[in-house]
Structure 1
Amino acid sequence: MTLRANVPPEQLVLELPHRAAQEAEDFLVSRSNTAAVELVDTWPGWPLPTALVVGPAGAGKSHIANVWRLRSGADVITAGRLDETAVGAFEARRALVVEDIERGVGSEQVLFHLLNLAREKAGSILLTSRVAPGEIEITLPDLRSRLRAIPPVFIETPDEDLIRSVLVKLFADRQLVVEPHVVSHIARHMDRSMAAALEVVAACDRLSLAMQRKVTRAVAAAALAEVGKDADDDQDVDDGGPG
């Protein structure tokens, strides 16, 4: 294909989809997530039928849940959409992931029933949350007590070493060769979350293609500024909304 000479390079950059790596070999281990990794590794020998993974946004809860899903054959449902269909999904596989319980539970009665089923039928349920059970608003007293009785497994905010390793992996996934000092610069100046790492690497990829140059420190700085501006814009929207 011949490109028209009068079209600026940045106009030729297409937003191509990039699959987020979510399998076991894509999960990088550090001291911030060791406990969650051990939780997956010890299944099906959990001491309790239900486990709870707690961590901040972007820490890797969904990734660790997906690794367990692949291992256990579990279905996945968001807590806000929980209804009677989840009971059939659990009974079919004896395993279920219920994500984001801190954002509200579609049916507290169904979740309580599921926790009972897991105990009665030797099944397993993995819950994820951004906050500990005591901070979650639950109306049903029995469910509230049951959740608070589950020992949470914490994923901490990713440390700089983990973020650096994640960046190297994400750049490699996109077949981008980036100098170590550039990776270190990005790791020091970005938000420490997996979501931020994905955004920065995507921005670096897009900008390097538009500028027709490799990912240098200057390109990385531009990507960080772009991602930071997007985050500020999102915060402005959030601040102006209800709640």
Structure 2
Amino acid sequence: MSQIALPLTPRNKDDPARIVLGTANLHVAEALRDPERWPFRTAVLAGPPRSGKSLLARWFEGAGKGEAIDPADTLDETELFHRWNRAQEDGRPLLLVSGAQVWEIALPDLRSRIGAALHLEIGAPDDEMIAALIESHAARRGLALGEGALTYLVPRAERSFAGVERLVAAIDRLSLERKAAATLSVWRDALAAVQGPEQGKLGLDPAK
């Protein structure tokens, strides 16, 4: 598991200093490093909520790779068409970030150009990446997870970027409320809080 550093100051306290790379997004990061190979130097980046689309777009711009429009799917289509043309005239790579599950484009000229672009999509995190995301979110919060945390949490965590973020936030909140270390009882109750009471009970507790 690896990470790439953001080459600029995070916009707010919720932005991580680094982007966790794994099977879900490594192909995206590799493509963003070499935009000269994109069709028409244009790529469309999509992915699930909280998967780091905006952070990758900021890394792309901050590293001087080209221009990023985020979100592109909410921009006026005529304006977006003109910006695509300007990028082509300037020979500047263009990254378009879409938050929509399906990006419906009404303007025919824009639709044909977006259709010809390189389409990149961030997938769902696997177990290894979920472990790295838990560690990354915990480190950003200054949250010390007790021994055995990953062994307990990874199989039970929701298989999504947003779910992992909610889980670590719940662990942090409960630990602070109880003024207690983030150990088994906190992990279990955090899982119950974000996923339902049965989730924290699955399998055997590592303490037993």
Percent identity over the alignment is: 29
User: Using the alignment, how far apart are the partners of 2:16 and 2:141 within structure 1?
Assistant: 15
The secondary structure found in structure 1 opposite 2:148 is helix
20, 23, 30: which one aligns with 2:14 = 20
Task: Name the stretch that deviates more: 207-216 or 49-58.
Answer: 49-58
Alpha carbons 1:112, 1:143 under 8 Å: kept: yes
* AA aligned opposite 2:84: L
The secondary structure found in structure 2 opposite 1:127 is strand
1:59 aligns with 2:26: no
CA gap 1:190/1:178 in 2 versus in 1, 3 angstroms: same
User: Using the alignment, how far apart are the partners of 1:181 and 1:155 within structure 2?
Assistant: 29
* AA aligned opposite 2:169: A
User: Using the alignment, how far apart are the partners of 1:58 and 1:207 within structure 2?
Assistant: 22
* AA aligned opposite 2:123: E
User: Using the alignment, how far apart are the partners of 2:130 and 2:159 within structure 1?
Assistant: 7
- Correspondence for 2:96: 127
CA gap 1:143/1:100 in 2 versus in 1, 3 angstroms: closer
- Correspondence for 2:121: 154
Unaligned runs of 5+ in 1: 1-17, 74-93, 230-243
CA gap 1:184/1:67 in 2 versus in 1, 3 angstroms: farther
User: Using the alignment, how far apart are the partners of 1:72 and 1:22 within structure 2?
Assistant: 20
1:112 aligns with 2:112: no
- CA shift at 1:219, angstroms? 0.3
- CA shift at 1:146, angstroms? 0.9
User: Using the alignment, how far apart are the partners of 1:201 and 1:178 within structure 2?
Assistant: 10
RMSD: 2.3
Deviations 1:65-123 (A, max 9, x none): 122132238xxxxxxxxxxxxxxxxxxxx72323252xxx3411111111111111112
- CA shift at 1:40, angstroms? 2.5
Deviations 1:110-138 (A, max 9, x none): 11111111111112221122567xx4221
Taking structure 2 as the reference length, the TM-score comes to 0.78
* AA aligned opposite 1:49: R
- CA shift at 1:46, angstroms? 4.0
> How many equivalent residue pairs?
184
- Correspondence for 1:95: 67
Alpha carbons 1:37, 1:64 under 8 Å: kept: yes
CA gap 1:171/1:96 in 2 versus in 1, 3 angstroms: closer
The residue correspondences of 1:68-79 to structure 2 (distance < 5 A) are 68-72=60-64
* AA aligned opposite 1:214: A
User: Using the alignment, how far apart are the partners of 2:31 and 2:147 within structure 1?
Assistant: 32
Alpha carbons 1:182, 1:216 under 8 Å: kept: yes
Alpha carbons 1:22, 1:66 under 8 Å: kept: no
Taking structure 1 as the reference length, the TM-score comes to 0.68
User: Using the alignment, how far apart are the partners of 1:187 and 1:212 within structure 2?
Assistant: 24
Q: Which structure: larger Rg?
A: 1
Which one has the bigger helix percentage?
Answer: 1
- Correspondence for 2:108: 141
Alpha carbons 1:54, 1:154 under 8 Å: kept: yes
- CA shift at 1:205, angstroms? 1.2
